[in-house]
Chain A
Amino acid sequence: MTIEVAGLSKHFRVHRRPPGLAAAVRSLWRRRYDTVKAVDDVSFTIARGERVGFLGPNGAGKTTTMKVLSGLLHPTAGAVRVEGHQPFRREPDFLRRITLVMGQKQQLLWDLPPSETYALNRAVFGVDPAQARQTIAELTELLGLAGLTDKPTRQLSLGERMKCELAAALLHRPTTLFLDEPTIGLDVAMQVTIRDFIRDYNQRHDATVLLTSHYMDDVVALCPRVIVIDGGRLIHDGDLRALVKTMLPDKLVSFTGGVPAEEVARLGEVVKAEGGRTTVRVPEARLREVVSHVLDRAGADLAVEDPPLEDVMRKLFKDKRAAAPAAPPAEPPP
């Protein structure tokens, strides 16, 4: 296994103070701390070459887990091994095997062209110059970097910067990639470019990928498996398609015109009807019947899709929260 996580917990001690001058003065000599369980008893393993989506709402503990796995945070409890190393030791051999890309933090030297960051990373990671040239050529072709790497980073667009950022992060050819929102803020075309690149890199180098993204299209396109956490606790780990099928087994059937209005309601629950295009939710058991009915009326203009992953996630979080016992209040440390 490339990544092994057993009973991982990461708790933070947070200073709390009510608003107001009196509370501010009081906090000078009497400080109140709460313990926040950012990650709580999470376990999973990821095999070499897997692409895994790491999902959860804001504040679920995704980034904290990523930081523990990459060695930036020391776990409060539990055992973590990545590429055979304990990440928090940050041994050079470990750091040469991994990379962490955070879509909201940049590593490129802001006022210099990305090529200078590449030179720096080549030296720091001890990459052989010939291999670095080859890798840069490969990344330039795959990411379309031609003409970008000699412009100052600050003059690049967000999408161009992200592509250069990825290239800088992968120059040492890491075999485990932690990608935290790598497509945040990018337009749809750029998101597709980045996704294709990640899949290609994964296949070429048998690299393990753990990806967080708020764009569910990233996850659907890249990750056959998803790990879902909420409130720091793992609530699902498994095949993405199976999750969709379990949570929302219905399919969405869309078609344009052809079906009389009085028949549409009988086909299934109407989810959307605009611009002459209608989308109905249909139980899987009735799918064949509905599709043949629509084909008879609307011809070939028909599409069958799974419900959006956003809906699946919403239902998963709702079900799990309803099933979970009320969480005890955070305890102040002794």
Chain B
Amino acid sequence: MMRAARALPTLIRVGMVEAIAYRAEMVVWLLTTTMPLVMLGLWTSVADEAPFRAWATRDFVAYYLVALVVRNLTSNWVAWQISEEIRTGAVSGRLLRPIHPFLGYLGTHLGAVPLRAIAVAPVIVIMMWTSARGVLVTDAAHLALVAAAIVGAWLLTFGVFLCLGALGFFLDKAMGIIEVYFGVFAIMSGYLIPLALLPGWVRAIARVLPFRSMLGDPVAIAIGRVPDAGDAARLVALQWAWAIGLLALATWLWRTGVRRYEAFGG
């Protein structure tokens, strides 16, 4: 365990070098996550007439710009990576290393975070020049909770994508599932529409699913929609519980999948 922990800084450093090598792909990837900007244009034109269910234009601007930042900081492509490595047999190389393969993936994708942060920095700068600035939380407790929520969202997203990738051990075309996943995620996470504006029955479903913890809740905390720090802390605690649960599920799926791989051939 200690040996694996000692390897992590090098894994992250190599991950950063890889991210720089793949910078063009990353820009293209980031361009695919601009849906919040489309929705921003739509909702601001609605709200310009009159506030929509207590959401003014600046609330929508803040919501979608923060959503863009959170989504880009916390996303990764580990599901595709695992799926491809299983399909081509490259995962064998990882199985022959004396550390858990998840640690290798963790290094690669943590290494990409600084480049992602640089990419979204202009969005943050722009936000500071807009009316959204007045909506963002500024007190220390909320800022700490926002930071914890972003880290938690990263871990939760990583856990979900590890699960989706590990399905490649069981299904020939596991990536087909990711299309379904994105459909559900877009609605239930608040990526397309703030959860508060969804019909009651959809909100009820979203409440018991992990997707809101991946995006909607961190954004809501950041733009002051959860004014009570205790409530925000409870949301973060729930999010971390989901993250731990999903990472545990991913570990189980991986272990079961590797046994299947061992049985049927790599």
Contact = CB atoms under 8 A, between A and B. Distances in A.
A120 B95 contact: no
A122 B10 contact: yes
Interface stretch (B11-19, B44-52, B197-205): B11-19
A286 interface: no
B265 A73 contact: yes
B96 A119 contact: no
A271 B7 CA distance: 59
Interface in A44-91: 64, 67, 70-74, 88, 90
Contacts of A152: 21
Given A100-B96, A111-B22, A123 B7 contact: yes
Contact of A124 (B9, B22, B99): B99
Interface string A91-134: 01101101110100101010110001001111111100000000
A329 B261 CA distance: 26
Interface stretch (B58-66, B85-93, B207-215): B85-93
Q: What is the interface of chain B mostly: helix, strand, loop, or mixed?
A: helix
A13 interface: yes
B179 interface: no
Given A74-B259, A90-B95, A126-B3, A67 B266 contact: yes
B176 interface: no
B96 A70 contact: yes
Contact of A71 (B11, B96, B104, B264): B96
Contacts of B21: 111-112, 152
A298 to B, nearest CB: 53
Contacts of A116: 14, 17
A121 B14 CA distance: 11
Given A112-B17, A112-B21, A120-B14, A92 B98 contact: yes
A120 B266 contact: no
Nearest to A96: B98
B98 A109 contact: no
B234 interface: no
A126 B98 contact: yes
B28 interface: no
B6 interface: yes
Interface string B79-119: 00000000001101101111100001000000000000000
Interface string B198-242: 000000000000000000000000000000000000000000000
Contacts of B92: 67, 72, 100, 102, 105
A125 B96 contact: no
A105 B98 CA distance: 19
A187 B49 CA distance: 74
Given A72-B95, A109-B18, A123 B262 contact: no
A171 to B, nearest CB: 12
Contacts of B10: 119-120, 122-124
B265 A64 contact: yes
Given A88-B262, A124-B104, A105 B93 contact: yes
Interface residues of B, number: 29
A72 B11 contact: no
A102 to B, nearest CB: 8
B103 to A, nearest CB: 9
A124 B9 CA distance: 11
Task: Identify the interface centre among A72, A90, A98, A102: most chain B CB within 10 Å of its CB.
Answer: A72
B180 interface: no
Contacts of A119: 10, 13-14
Given A73-B266, A105-B92, A111-B18, A124 B97 contact: yes
B140 interface: no
A120 to B, nearest CB: 5
Nearest to B260: A74
B105 to A, nearest CB: 13
Contact of B98 (A38, A74, A111, A124): A124
A38 B265 CA distance: 10
Contact of A12 (B9, B98, B265): B265
B263 interface: yes
Contacts of A102: 92
Nearest to B10: A123
B245 to A, nearest CB: 26
B67 to A, nearest CB: 31
A40 to B, nearest CB: 15
B264 A105 contact: no
A73 B262 contact: yes
B265 A126 contact: no
Interface in B1-59: 3, 6-7, 9-11, 13-14, 17-18, 21-22
Given A99-B96, A119-B13, A123-B9, 18 more contacts: A64-B265, A67-B265, A71-B96, A72-B95, A72-B96, A72-B261, A73-B262, A74-B259, A90-B96, A93-B98, A95-B96, A105-B89, A112-B21, A116-B17, A119-B10, A119-B14, A124-B104, A126-B6
4 smallest beta-carbon distances between A and B, as pairs: A123-B10, A92-B98, A74-B262, A123-B7
Interface of A: 12-13, 38, 64, 67, 70-74, 88, 90, 92-93, 95-96, 98-100, 102, 105, 107, 109, 111-112, 116, 119-126, 152
18 contacts: A12-B265, A67-B92, A73-B266, A74-B262, A90-B96, A92-B3, A92-B99, A95-B96, A95-B97, A100-B96, A112-B18, A112-B21, A116-B14, A119-B13, A119-B14, A124-B10, A125-B97, A126-B7
